[in-house]
């Protein structure tokens, strides 16, 4: 039984969220709290497997409450966020402060239609409850920056796929890459809306030496830049003369958007043996077929090992025999630099 604490300043929302969670026989809401201070008092007496946490609350907001939770009673946390640029910025900060994942409220803070995301909420809580607190704390620990290496200029590309736990892991990897990194880097991070992809790009751009941005349609890819695939579009590449450009395609029903598989297959086709595929933490199998395509085109493949926050996506690649290396997150930047050189 997964024990959950629900934190929200609205009694109506606490009741709806609790009813949705309790409808699943594997989940039980053991307590609720109307604000961060009450949540901390209850955490001193109970030990939930997961916490759902609202962002906008009187007194301590969601980020402040999360920081107290992670320092005093470390527990996997799912953020409930409204759909706005401001909330997206705060949500990215929460992910980097230790939140495992987040759910978008369909229609703002008081979402009468919150039941529209019931299936996603149940799945996220189940995934979060399996995350080890020790790995969460490791993700948010800032490591000293290592000196960059002298890299040879070779026409290669790195494409990274990630989902749950990805934003925190990405920061650590990209932070470790030097300014003279001689390949473009494409990142396909599962995100529910463009607001969140843009906020993640802005956060990573501030934290890293390399320029990080959301890729635009028909943008020429350049070495030493990091391009995030925008939510709601499928990112593919094509050759235009001697340049390789991005192509943003409309989402197709029943296909995850953005899809790691679609982008990696395109990268494998355009770059052949010069593609380097990397799969990080996440639930599901997205990226498995893409990594197979990269490997079959004589490219190289690296996955995060079982130290992943969620070992679903990397494990699928390993089980398929498509991983050249399985490494902890703090060794992946070094592997990328070796493969690019």
- pLDDT, mean over the chain: 92
Question: CA 286, CA 317: separation in Å to the nearest integer?
Answer: 9
Give me the architecture of the 2-139 domain, per CATH.
3-Layer(aba) Sandwich (3.40)
SS3 at position 266: helix
Q: Range with the lowest mean pLDDT among 129-133, 228-232, 271-275, 301-305? A: 129-133
Tell me the CA end-to-end span of the chain in Å, nearest whole number.
49
Q: Which two tokens stand for residue 254?
A: 């029943």
Give the model's pLDDT for residue 300: 98
CATH 3.40.50.180 occupies which residues in the chain? 157-340
Query: 174-197: b or e for each residue (b if 16 or more CB lie within 10 Å)?
Result: bbbbbeebbbbbbbbbbbbbebbb
CATH 3.40.50.2300 occupies which residues in the chain? 2-139
The arithmetic mean of pLDDT across residues 101-114, rounded, is 74
Q: Could you give the angle at the alpha carbon of 61 between the alpha carbons of 128 and 197, nearest 5°?
A: 60
Contact partners, residue 134, CB within 8 Å, separation at least 6: none
**pLDDT tens for residues 129-165?**
999 888 888 887 766 566 556 565 568 999 999 999 9
Question: Beta 27-33 vs 50-54: how paired, if at all?
Answer: unpaired
Give the model's pLDDT for residue 38: 97
Q: Is the pLDDT of residue 205 over 90?
A: yes
Give the model's pLDDT for residue 267: 98
| Tokens 């592997």 -> residue | 335
Give the model's pLDDT for residue 153: 52
Element (H, E) at 173: helix 166-175
**pLDDT tens for residues 303-334?**
999 999 999 999 999 999 999 999 999 999 99
DSSP state of 93: H
Residue 73: pLDDT band (50, 70, 90) is very high
Question: CA 341, CA 177: separation in Å to the nearest integer?
Answer: 13
Q: Which two tokens stand for residue 92?
A: 């990215």
Question: Beta 157-162 vs 243-250: how paired, if at all?
Answer: unpaired
Give me the architecture of the 157-340 domain, per CATH.
3-Layer(aba) Sandwich (3.40)
Question: CA 32, CA 314: separation in Å to the nearest integer?
Answer: 35
8 Å CB contact between 72 and 80: no
Report the catalytic residues. 163, 190, 286
Q: Is the pLDDT of residue 262 over 90?
A: yes
DSSP state of 242: T
8 Å CB contact between 158 and 280: no
Q: Which two tokens stand for residue 96?
A: 């980097």
Sign of the torsion formed by the C-alpha atoms of 75, 315, 154 and 268: negative
Residue 59 — left, alpha, or beta (φ > 0 → left; ψ -120 to 50 → alpha)?
left
Give the model's pLDDT for residue 295: 97
Q: 64 vs 38, 121, 177, CA distance in Å? A: 13, 22, 30
Contact partners, residue 144, CB within 8 Å, separation at least 6: none
Q: What is the 3-state secondary structure (H, E, C) of 120-138?
A: HHHHHHHHHHCCCHHHHHH
């Amino acid at each position: 039984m997964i024990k959950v604490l629900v934190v929200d300043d609205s009694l109506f929302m606490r009741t709806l969220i609790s009813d949705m969670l309790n409808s699943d026989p594997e989940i039980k809401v053991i307590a609720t709290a109307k604000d961060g201070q009450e949540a901390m008092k209850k955490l001193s007496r109970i030990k939930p497997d997961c916490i759902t946490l609202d962002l906008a609350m009187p007194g301590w907001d969601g980020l402040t409450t999360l920081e107290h939770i992670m320092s005093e009673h470390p527990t996997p946390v799912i953020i409930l966020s409204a759909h706005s640029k401001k909330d997206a910025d705060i949500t990215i900060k929460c992910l980097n402060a230790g939140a495992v994942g987040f759910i978008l409220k369909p229609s703002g803070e008081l979402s009468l239609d919150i039941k529209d995301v019931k299936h996603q909420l149940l799945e996220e809580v189940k995934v979060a409850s399996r995350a080890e607190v020790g790995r969460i704390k490791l993700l948010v620990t800032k490591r000293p920056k290592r000196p960059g290496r002298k890299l040879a200029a070779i026409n290669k590309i790195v494409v990274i796929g990630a989902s749950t736990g990805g934003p925190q892991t990405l920061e650590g990897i990209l932070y470790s890459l030097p300014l003279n990194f001689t390949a473009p880097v494409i990142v396909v991070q599962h995100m529910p809306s463009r607001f969140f992809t843009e906020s993640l790009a802005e956060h990573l751009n501030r934290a890293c030496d390399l320029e990080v941005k959301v890729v635009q349609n028909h943008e020429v890819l350049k070495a030493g830049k990091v391009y995030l695939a925008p939510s709601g579009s499928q990112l593919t590449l094509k050759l235009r003369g001697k340049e390789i450009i991005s192509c943003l395609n409309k989402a197709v029903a029943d296909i995850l958007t953005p899809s790691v598989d679609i982008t990696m297959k395109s990268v494998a086709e355009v770059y052949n043996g010069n593609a380097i595929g990397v799969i990080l933490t996440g639930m599901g199998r997205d990226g498995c077929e893409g990594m197979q395509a990269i490997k079959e085109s004589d490219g190289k493949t690296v996955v995060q090992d079982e130290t992943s926050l969620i070992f679903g996506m990397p494990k699928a690649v390993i089980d398929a025999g498509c991983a050249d290396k399985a490494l902890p997150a703090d060794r992946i930047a070094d592997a990328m630099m070796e493969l690019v050189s």
